[in-house]
Structure 1
Amino acid sequence: MAEHEFDMFGNPVRPGKGARGRPSFEVTERNRNKVKLLLAMGWSNDRVAHAVECSLATLKRHFRAELKFRDEMRDRLDAERLMVVTEKALDGVVGAQRLLAEMIERNDRMEIERSLAADRKKKEPALGKKQIDAAKARDADAELMAELDMEAERSAGRNARH
């Protein structure tokens, strides 16, 4: 049986690493899972490529399926965590029962916030470009007036001292 060398993080060192020529990249299930996890955590493609020790082009070539579902990865991770905690809680693990209650409460708060945001969005009329520009202009005028008032107060304070 061949002996494998490992780096300081426990990843196997590919044969030929450091030798002339570039060894071909090997896709492993561990690397696939690592890519999915890092995408779920919101990492950029560059950071993910560095983490799995490949170029950006190699990442895109070998992990196209995972990259395609970048937005869904966080939901998949959260769903899996919820499943694991629920199974442990049903088995009677008290810590898991507590954690499940916290996860349910957090989920309920998120759903309420989403519902409120959707209600606010429904109530607010859609603004056109001219209305948006007018609102920006009003905000800019208010900010300018506030800045001028502060400058006038500073100036008055300096004059009072002299």
Structure 2
Amino acid sequence: MQPTTITHACPESHTIPYRWATPGQHAQAVLWVAEHLHDHFPTLSVTDFAQAFHAFQPDLWEDGNDLWLDYADLARLTQRLAHSPLVPELDPPVYCADVRYLAGVLHYFHLVAVELRAEMQAGAPLNTLHLDSLIDRLAIGNSVVERVRRETRSQAVAHDPQAAADFGD
């Protein structure tokens, strides 16, 4: 693989294609990868990192003192590892703040809907405080939802052309 991006390398650094690197250079690169990705994949051993590294076969960068991977190659290796069977399902799974927030919003809507259903079954008029609150909350929209939809639109459309209709295209 030829380098396609500018690295953080110093001017005297050069690339070593995977196939030309020595076993010692491969081992040094695997240790560098394991050190840089350990926080992302704490359950993986150095052997697991080595397996992923050798399957990916990235070019190495060297400046005489250190050996490392190009940032773009490190990012691609990280993505491959994330989808690899080497990475076990986390228990409990780790969710970002946006996911927790959106789960809270959906839980709120669920609770209001349950209360509305009970009121409607009891014969209450449809113009209730719960219904007004739900409609107001839905009508306002949600900036997190809009941002997540905007940021994931291209991924969704790339995987499913029908998804363009879901995004209003």
The structure with the larger Rg is: 1
* Greater helix fraction, Structure 1 or Structure 2: 1
TM-score over 0.5 (shorter chain): no
TM-score by length of 1: 0.22
TM-score by length of 2: 0.21
Which gives a bigger RCO, structure 1 or 2 (Cα 8 Å, sep 6+)? 2
